[in-house]
Amino acid sequence: WEDDFDWEPSYNIAPTQISPVLLNDGKRKVKPMCWGLVPSWAKDKTIGAKMINARSETLREKPSFQSLIYQKRCIVISDGYFEWKREGKKKKPYYIRDPDGKLLPMAGLWDEWVDKQEKRWLTYTVITTDPSNQINHIHNRMPVILDKPEMDLWINFDYPPNEALTCLKPYEKLLELYPVSTFVNSPANNSNQCILPTENLNTLTMF
């Protein structure tokens, strides 16, 4: 950590909330950032709620992202994520993680926005790509998950963007995924109940 920030792990990070992000602005460091990119040229920060993800296929086309791929690539530190599978008129939440409990570092872009009171806001977006064969029955997108060599490539700006962008592909290594309770649907809920498999929850309710 570069800043004096008292980070507490979260079971349910929602858009506009703070999470730890690894960046390289001449030195690699972890900083607290708000999820939902607010471009430096934005008139206000409300746009961030609409920019939580960036499609890998169109990064070079979108004004909000095209300049960031040169010097503001980042890695979102995560040990899993939620995805919702549509089943009829309902959506069923799933938790997706590494089967050995390792981190799932995600490719992102970040920017700095300054409000009228001169307060600096650091914000980020998570880059998404096509789903792997493990995920495509749940959703038609997935975050770009980086392995160790790709992490170095993504935030090492000695590499040109064209080379760094080769990291943006489906994650084909084994993932663990299982249904969880709709408890996670509310950002106000932030306990390990968010990531417990539904069968475990059913067992708990018997006692």
What one-letter code names the amino acid at 163? Answer: E
Contact 1, 29 (CB under 8 A): yes
SS (H, E, C) 5-31: CCCCCCCCCCCCCEEEEEEECCCEEEE
Contact 71, 24 (CB under 8 A): no
CATH of domain 18-204: 3.90.1680.10
Q: How much of the chain is helix, strand and coil, in % rounded to 5?
A: 25, 30, 45
Model confidence pLDDT, tens digit, residues 104-147:
999 999 999 999 899 999 999 999 999 999 999 999 999 999 99
Torsion 193-196-202-204 (CA) sign: negative
Compute CA 204 distance to the chain's CA centroid, rounded to the nearest angstrom.
Answer: 30
pLDDT of residue 206 exceeding 60, the answer is no
User: Which pLDDT score is estimated for 78?
Assistant: 96
Contact 186, 4 (CB under 8 A): no
Residues of the chain with pLDDT > 70, as a percent, come to: 93
Model confidence pLDDT, tens digit, residues 20-77:
999 998 899 999 999 999 999 999 999 999 999 999 999 999 999 999 999 999 999 9
With a CB cutoff of 8 Å and minimum separation 6, the contacts of 2 are 29, 30, 31
Rounded to an integer, what distance in angstroms lies between the CA atom of residue 128 and that of residue 42?
22
Helix (H, G, I), strand (E, B) or coil at 36: coil
Q: Tell if the pTM clears 0.85, that is, is over it.
A: yes
